[in-house]
Amino acid sequence: MVQFANETVAQTRAARLVILDRDGVINADSDQFIKSPDEWRAIPGSLEAIARLNHAGYRIAVCTNQSGIGRGLFDMATLNAIHDKMHRQLAQVGGRIDAIFFCPHTGDAQCECRKPKTSMLSEAGRRFGADLTQVPCIGDSLRDLEAAQSVGAQPMLVLTGKGEKTLRIGNFPAHTVIFPDLAFAASALLARD
């Protein structure tokens, strides 16, 4: 499923794209899920990092597993309200997310969209007209990194959210780049431009 902030995104020519996971990368994560707008809290510096990437010409797509819907913990109206809060707070710092792709299914559903499967990432590439080869794909969990590797994107691990645990467990793609948080990752991307 996808939510576009701006329908013209679908018609854009090939764009510089960054794909982000949501929980643990943009906002604080919770083992009990983010189930309401009140529970959604931006990680310090993450919104400003997205704004800096926007201003440098990057399109931002969020690809996020949201199995709380499939588990009955929250509904689509609540997910939309959470995303509205995220969009509003981003706008306050001059940033935007161009599209949000989400999987509402539980792991038992055996769907093709739940990371580490790749359908969300592939759809983001298709919608933005972007070849995913080496597109930065920033996440905090092994499934984010595996999905990135599977489509030829550049896996980037942030140590926020579940990132520290992912780092300790290891066994992630060998060419994964590691950053303390999204702000550091954005700075590295901007420095290479």
**Element (DSSP H or E) covering residue 115:** none
User: Which of 23, 29, 140, 144 is an active site residue?
Assistant: 23
Kind of pairing between the strands at 99-103 and 58-65: parallel
Angle subtended at Cα 170 by Cα 165 and Cα 171, rounded to the nearest 5 degrees: 135
- Does 21 qualify as catalytic in the annotation? yes
CA distance 5 to 97: 7
Out of 21, 98, 144, 181, pick the active-site residue: 21
Q: What is the model's pLDDT at position 71?
A: 96
pLDDT, averaged in runs of 10, over the chain (193 residues): 44 70 98 97 98 97 97 97 98 98 95 96 96 96 98 98 97 96 98 88
| Residue 15: per-residue pLDDT | 62
Is 75 part of the annotated catalytic residue set?
no
Q: What is the pLDDT of residue 7?
A: 39
What is residue 9's predicted lDDT score, i.e. its pLDDT?
A: 38
pLDDT at 193: 80
Give the predicted TM-score (pTM) of the model. 0.92
Query: What is the secondary structure of 75-110 as a DSSP string?
Result: -HHHHHHHHHHHHHHHHHTT----EEEEE---GGG-
Quick one: pLDDT at residue 135? Answer: 97
C-beta separation of 136 from 154 below 8 A:
yes
| Domains recognised in the chain with CATH numbers | 2-192 (3.40.50.1000)
The dihedral sign for the CA sequence 187, 118, 106, 128: positive
